[in-house]
Amino acid sequence: GRSSALRLTPDHSAHVSAGAVLVLPGEHVQVLSDDGEWAYIVLHQRNFETGWLQSKHLRPLAAAPLVCGVKCQSPDLETLKMTVFTFGLENFDSALVDRCSDFSRGGSEAVVDRETLQRVFTKRSLGSVHVFCDTRVFSDPGTISPHIGVNPRILEQIASNRHFPRWIEELKKDVMRASHRASHLVMAFYCRSGKHRSVAASRFLQHIAERDGFHVSVIHLSKAKWRNTCKGKCDQCAEGRGDVNLRMRALDMAVSWWDRC
């Protein structure tokens, strides 16, 4: 609304142009001054745009970091939620399975439009999805198939893929566009079987979103079909176990590419 637009002066009656910069819910800002009614802020991730924002829209971070001695705050932080679904084209829904059967390589190459995917989610009472993201741009890590996508080696393999920077860039654009329309974002990643690439993608986004103040819920819709896998419970895949350093390096690579976009 008007109250979330950056203004040139701290004045309720000041005109807000159609092209005014809007501060998004959850966007991190640097507060240079705040008199309790109006705050003068800097948007570091948007070419250092500056302006006035009503103080009531600012929420301090749980542990507000200091940037050059100035606290960073986030507008309406407590309202930020994200639900992330993962699923496989070949095992989640009969309509998608039928679609895959039209292609010689099945779910590895099946083309499914957004409308079809949304109809499936609506039919299953899963609601509207803001962004459907195809993760089949990455090679299927079949050699590590006893594990699922949260395995450190799988995360590292995908984060090191030559397509990863561009994929992260496009994902960030989709997330930013969706955040203009809702404070509770719903994302859905898919691949062929819903256990490797889509699961890894969800872990990357979860890591980034939680860093940025979102409360994230991840739901693996094809989990019941994770046959012949550890289901993420083995010593290598369980969070905080296995090669912790390798996992963090992969997640940090995702953050690094995200912040460069």
Domain that holds residue 22: 4-57
Residue recorded with tokens 């690579």: 253
Do 256 and 178 share a structural domain? yes
Residues with Cβ within 8 Å of residue 181, at least 6 apart in sequence: 130
pTM metric for this prediction: 0.70
Please give the tally of structural domains in the chain.
2
Note whether 171 and 239 are same-domain residues.
Answer: yes
With respect to residue 107, please indicate whether it lies within any of the assigned structural domains.
yes
User: In terms of domains, do 228 and 177 share one?
Assistant: yes
- The verdict on residue 75 lying in a domain is no
User: Is there a single domain that holds both residue 88 and residue 172?
Assistant: yes
Q: Give a yes or no: residue 66 inside a domain.
A: no
CA 145 to each of CA 88, 124, 139, 230, 233: distance values in angstroms, whole numbers, following the listed order: 15, 28, 12, 9, 14
pLDDT in tens, the chain (261 residues): 444 777 777 777 666 666 677 888 777 777 756 777 887 676 756 655 677 788 888 877 655 444 333 445 554 444 689 999 999 999 999 999 999 999 999 999 999 999 999 999 999 999 999 999 999 999 988 766 789 999 999 999 999 999 999 999 999 999 999 988 888 999 999 999 999 999 999 999 999 999 988 999 999 999 999 988 999 999 999 988 888 999 999 999 999 999 988
| Residue 239 within any structural domain of the chain | yes
